[in-house]
Chains A and B, each alone.
Chain A
Amino acid sequence: MGNMSTHSINNQNKLIQFLFGTWERTQLSISAGLLLLMVFSPLVIKSPYYIGVITLACLYAFIGISWNIISGFCGQLLIAHIIFIGLGGYTTIVLLNNYGISPWIGIPIGGFVSGIAGVVVALITVRYGLKLDYFALFTIALLVALRTLFLKWEFVGGAVGMYLRQETPSLNRMIFISKLPYLYIACSLLLFGIIIQYLTYKSKFGKYFIAIREDETAAAALGVNLTKYKTLAVMIGTALAGLGGGFYIIYVTYIDPTGIFNLGFNAEMVMASPIIGGLGSLVGPILGALVNKPIAEIIRANLAEARSGITMIVYGIFLISAVLFLPRGLAGLIQTLYYRWFHGITSTHQEGE
């Protein structure tokens, strides 16, 4: 008997070691746990409205991951990241409405188009040495130019935007009566994002990204090809954003230039989750999205009807307080606790920031 219990304690220790042995593994375990929670949430939550909120939280986490790779890992200030969500979304809906191509193919093509656009943007800006503030301003100028272009471009619906046609449910067109299939597609996207993010983080080029973020000149001096790896980071991130955008349009069934090429929406959809959760960490975008989306949605549902503007106030306060009080985000907070509990270290020096 005694032997048996030591054995099971050993197994338990092994399990704990496996799940929480390092901070990286802990982040993966938390990510997996949160993802499972979302997958199984319909067992408890029956209201389609709340399932919808969880679906969007899942999507925001995925989009947060896409921005995290560019800005968090590689340190590139691609502020107007929503450009690539818009491009992916427009590609998907144009393919579906004008050519009858199923979203199952259209969404990956959207990701491909966004990835190509990202490569073009990265190559141009790196070629001319745009960095930091100047790069950020460049992306914002691009956003404004694209918005104006799409407003005038009748092929993609102009100022009116585009609606999903043929609302008859069909698997092929990714139109369902129940909210559940959307949730599972969003969860699969998020799983894909978590895997890509982890592989990037573990890979050699992921280390180069972080070297570029920490000190570009030093990285270049050590032989890191800046053009190549900055472009690669932007390509991975923008391609993921395109996928997210494609699914987003299918889910909300509508896109228009002022709605999507919009800096306020950019702050909500792209920036808020990784910033709140912890930019540059593995678990940050997911933690952040789970705080960001539900809170904002509750406020929107309960207060915004009385007065518009509340949502923007909330996002403004989110971003400001994250920078001032939690510069490493929720992940940074958990990391400190983690080192205290598991390793007895009270002051940490880590990779997250």
Chain B
Amino acid sequence: MTSEIFFQTLINGLFTGGIYALVSIGLTLIYGVMVIVNFAHGEFLTIGIYTAFWSVTLLGIDPYMSIPIAIIIAGILGAVIQRGLVQQVLDSHPLHQIVLLVGVSLLLIGVIQFSFGAEPKAMHVPYETEVIQLFGLRMAIPRLIAFGASLFISIGLFIFLQYTKIGKAIRAVSQSRQAASLMGINVNLIYMLTFGIGAAITAVAGVLLSPNHRMIPTMGEAYSVIAFLVVVLGTMGNFVGAFIGGLIIGLVEAYAGFYLGGDVKIIASMLIFIVILLFKPSGLFGRKR
């Protein structure tokens, strides 16, 4: 592997990792606050990518202009699912939580497939194959935009969580539900909000992925699994951990893909997942419980 290929693979890995980071941040946020693994998480990405597709097809706008639409659709849907369904099982056995969310996942996939058909779709934008050359490295424009936007949104959300009143309330609830409630925080509202935000940024990841990307209703599952992996790697509930974990998995996939071939890279990721689960389930940033 020459240094040029090495750096090219690095760039590709980081670009993929940016999307993974965004999806995983949504999952880790929901887990951190509600201690529930959102098994329907990838479906919000599917919602995002289909929103971009239909915005381009029907409204004729640029896919990136559909980000606000995706935020509104996924955000409201997420909040409704939280209030209507997830809220009811917050104190139930984990099995009931998992079964409920698997049900939600099937329902969402079913509705998407019913509405738009099971056949693969792809969306095209004029600049999808344009490439920027920088220090001899090739960067496709849509992927560069996706990476920049992922960074921007992640940092923005981090600042929001650190410095705004609502962000502090979210962090307070994730630390202790009772204490937060005693401080006058409306815990149920924070739950709804957090699920909405988690769903919305995942949908944004879908929009960012949309140019020149094949889409099928069941595509979310792959991203769910990657998000589980990233979130466990970066310690469940840890925001920064999910971001760094996303980049790491992106890089691992890029290099594994280079050496082992396109499909086998998934096995590499899954083996990493299994090894982490076995040897350090608390993740890179976790303390021993």
A residues contacting B by CB (< 8 A) are 71, 75, 77, 79, 124-125, 128-130, 132-134, 136-138, 140-142, 144-145, 148-149, 151-152, 263-264, 267, 271, 275, 279, 307-320, 322-324, 327
Contacts and interface: CB of A to CB of B under 8 A. Distances in A.
Interface residues of B, number: 48
A308 B117 contact: yes
Contacts, number: 142
Interface string B74-106: 000000000001001100111110111011111
Contacts of B110: 309-316
23 contacts: A75-B95, A77-B95, A125-B278, A133-B98, A134-B232, A134-B277, A136-B37, A136-B94, A140-B225, A140-B228, A141-B270, A141-B273, A141-B274, A148-B267, A149-B267, A309-B118, A312-B107, A315-B106, A316-B106, A316-B108, A319-B102, A320-B85, A323-B103
Contacts of B105: 263, 316
Contacts of A149: 267
Interface of B: 37, 85, 88-89, 92-96, 98-100, 102-115, 117-118, 217-218, 221-222, 225, 228-229, 232, 263-264, 266-267, 270-271, 273-274, 277-279, 281
Given A319-B99, A319-B103, A309 B113 contact: yes
B218 A264 contact: yes
Contacts of B104: 316, 320
Contact of B106 (A138, A144, A264): A264
A320 B103 contact: yes
A312 B113 contact: yes
Contacts of A134: 232, 277, 281
Given A309-B114, A318-B103, 4 more contacts: A137-B277, A312-B113, A320-B107, A323-B100
A144 B225 contact: yes
Contacts of A141: 225, 228-229, 270, 273-274, 277
Nearest to B93: A75
A302 to B, nearest CB: 15
Given A128-B281, A319-B102, A145 B267 contact: yes
A316 B85 CA distance: 12
Given A140-B225, A309-B112, A317 B103 contact: yes
Nearest to B228: A137
Contacts of B222: 144
Contacts of B232: 134, 137
Among B108, B110, B111, max chain A CB count under 10 A is at B110
The CB with the most chain A CB atoms within 10 A, among B111, B232, B278, is that of B278
Nearest to B107: A316
B98 A79 contact: yes
Given A124-B278, A315-B103, A323-B103, A309 B217 contact: yes
B106 A133 contact: no
B106 A312 contact: yes
A128 B279 contact: yes
Nearest to A324: B88
A140 B114 CA distance: 26
Nearest to A133: B37
B27 to A, nearest CB: 11
B114 A310 contact: yes
Contacts of B273: 137, 141
Nearest to B274: A141
B109 A312 contact: yes
Contacts of A264: 106, 109, 218
A136 to B, nearest CB: 6
B95 A308 contact: no
A166 B221 CA distance: 36
